[in-house]
């Protein structure tokens, strides 16, 4: 039996992870869940929102499924999510964005992947106050991390039979930092002549994405742009409730949805577990459990085809009702 670290998170985290664990159980696949708590709730007892035991567990198991964790805004501790990605060197944040059956959106045939550099840029946490009225945040872009993420994007394209990789920067303004990222893209891209290559500025990308997202394939970009663009692309396929993600490194992987802890609907049995479920399906494929991944995906698609939706998608179902519908649809 495989062991996977499970971080239930906070906010809607425990509700959606309970649903996903039960759906996986119902598929017949047995997983030994190594449950690890993190975030605000553990600070009082352990003095930190990210205790060493959490990192140890992921290092040993190599795979984690993670529900969202709240980060205080403007003050308080540094994001547990960002710390985790950095500490485990989970350098590639992979966010596929594909239409789901029977979820009506503005565009059909959206099938793109946002690949976001996950360890540096403005997320390096290098911020300080120069004086009372001035703050400085340092954007770090290195050749090593930029080449690594661009290579990941090209390898991803090859593995998944994708045709094009588009590099997204703001190299007209951040000439040195984003300029370096773009230079790395071009250097690495030269090794992949069979993959079409495109370059876009991030503002232009946003315009084009809302006008016609169907023309995009694989997008690779520095951390901050990836964070923002992947919320935009989530909106193209039905919203944050269905947007999956994965953080991949050389020594392990953490699968988690794009969305946060949604404090506005916490404890109301309203959260859509689909984003975490799709992340878990991806995780099962990563673990070579394709049979179960396909079985669960089929049941999820059947649930949507049957018109079962949570409130974020215009339906009436509670989290637990949606969970039960997916389980009922399992063949
Ligand atoms: P959010 O993604 O939690 O929520 C934005 C909006 O989307 C809210 O209206 C929420 O109700 C809705 N929503 C999100 N997920 C949903 C789901 N599964 N089903 C139905 N509706 C859903 O973003 P927000 O409010 O900016 O952040 C809340 C907290 O989450 C913050 O502390 C933030 O730092 C944290 N966060 C954590 C992440 C992680 O753990 N990886 C990622 C993003 C944010």
Digit-by-digit pLDDT tens for the chain (331 residues) are 999 999 999 999 999 999 999 999 999 999 999 999 999 889 889 999 999 999 999 999 999 999 999 988 877 778 888 889 989 999 999 999 999 999 999 999 999 999 999 999 998 889 999 999 999 999 999 999 999 999 999 999 999 999 999 999 999 999 999 999 999 999 999 999 999 999 999 999 999 999 999 999 999 999 999 999 999 999 999 999 999 999 999 889 999 999 999 999 999 999 999 999 999 999 999 999 999 999 999 999 999 999 999 999 999 999 999 999 999 999 9
* β-strand partners of 140: 121
Residue nearest to atom 1 of ligand 1 (CA): 260
pLDDT tens-digit profile of 57-80? 999 999 999 999 998 887 777 888
Q: Which of 240, 254, 266, 323 to mutate to test the pocket of ligand 1 (most atoms within 8 A of CB)?
A: 240
Six token digits for residue 183: 């230079």
Q: How far is CA 171 from CA 167, 184, 199, 265, in A?
A: 11, 12, 10, 39
Which ligand 1 atom lies nearest to the CA of residue 271?
19
Nearest Cα neighbor of 82 from 34, 129, 121 is 121
pTM of this structure:
0.94
Q: Atom 12 in ligand 1: which residue has the minimum CA distance?
A: 262
């Amino acid at each position: 039996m495989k062991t996977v670290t499970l971080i239930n998170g906070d906010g809607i985290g425990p509700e959606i992870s309970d649903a996903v664990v039960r759906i996986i159980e119902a598929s017949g696949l047995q997983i030994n869940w190594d449950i690890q708590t993190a975030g605000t709730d553990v600070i009082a007892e352990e003095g930190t929102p990210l205790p060493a035991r959490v990192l140890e567990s992921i290092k040993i198991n190599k795979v984690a499924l993670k529900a969202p964790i709240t980060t205080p805004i403007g003050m308080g501790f540094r994001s547990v999510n960002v710390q985790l990605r950095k500490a485990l060197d989970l350098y590639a944040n992979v966010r596929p964005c594909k239409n789901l059956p029977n979820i009506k959106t503005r565009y059909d045939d959206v099938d793109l992947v946002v690949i976001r550099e996950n360890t540096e840029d403005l997320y390096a946490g290098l911020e300080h106050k120069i004086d009372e009225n001035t703050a400085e945040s340092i954007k770090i872009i290195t050749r090593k991390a930029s080449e690594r993420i661009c290579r990941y994007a090209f390898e991803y394209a090859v593995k998944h039979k994708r045709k094009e990789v588009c590099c997204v920067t703001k190299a007209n303004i951040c000439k040195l930092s984003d300029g370096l990222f773009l230079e790395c893209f071009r250097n690495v891209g030269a090794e992949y002549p069979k993959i079409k290559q495109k370059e876009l500025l991030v503002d232009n990308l946003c315009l084009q994405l809302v006008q016609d997202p169907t023309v995009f394939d694989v997008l690779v970009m520095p951390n901050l742009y990836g964070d923002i663009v992947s919320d935009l692309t989530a909106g193209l396929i039905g919203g944050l409730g269905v947007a999956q993600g994965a953080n991949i490194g050389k020594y392990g992987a953490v699968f988690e949805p794009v969305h946060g802890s949604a404090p506005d609907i916490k404890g109301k049995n309203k959260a859509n577990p689909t984003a975490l479920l799709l992340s878990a399906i991806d995780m099962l494929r990563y673990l070579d459990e394709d049979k179960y991944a396909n079985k669960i995906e089929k049941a999820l698609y059947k649930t949507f085809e049957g018109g079962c939706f949570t409130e974020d998608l215009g339906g009436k179902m509670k989290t637990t009702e949606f969970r039960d519908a997916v389980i009922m649809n399992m063949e």
